[in-house]
Structure 1
């Protein structure tokens, strides 16, 4: 892990694409501004861990393929009926 010290309004650049700037420091709370391409997803760590857990749980769920196929057919026929109205 790289450890850097930065003061308010100072920044770091990662891979010529991501800029992290210290916006404000208030006691033990630091506000960071992050500039990155839209293709890069940025999450707070606790949100990222929740997403990973939800994905893990979804991958473990059993899927009833017959029910899924019936729902897909039902949705397709409802779309077709709405277009014909």
Structure 2
């Protein structure tokens, strides 16, 4: 893990097209801004993990698999 220190209004770059900006620090909360291309999905980790779990559940649900199969048979 890379650990960086940044102050308000300072930023880091990820690749050549994603910028993370520290907008402010209030107590133990850090407010971040993210500049990225529209095609880059950005989620809070807990939301991302919930999406992944839903995808896993759907992929192993026989009823859902049958429904998807029906869509492609048309």
Asked if TM exceeds 0.5, the reply is yes
- RMSD value over aligned CA atoms? 2.1
1:19-40 superposed Cα distances (whole Å, 9 cap, x missing partner): 0000010010000000000111
3-state SS, counterpart of residue 47 of structure 1 = helix
1:1-85 to 2 correspondence within 5 Å? 1-63=1-63, 65=66, 69=70
Give the structure with the larger helix fraction. 1
Distance change (3 Å), C-alpha of 1:10 and 1:62: same
RCO higher in 1 or 2 (8 Å CA, sep ≥ 6)? 2
Between Structure 1 and Structure 2, whose CA radius of gyration is higher?
Answer: 1
1:34-59 deviation digits (Å, cap 9, x = unpaired): 00001110000000000000000000
SS in 1 for 2:46: helix
Question: Secondary structure at 1:12's aligned position in 2?
Answer: strand
5+ unaligned residues in a row in structure 1: which ranges? 74-85
What SS does the aligned partner of 1:50 have? Answer: helix
Aligned residue pair count: 70
Moved over 2 A (4+): 63-66
Unaligned runs of 5+ in 2: none
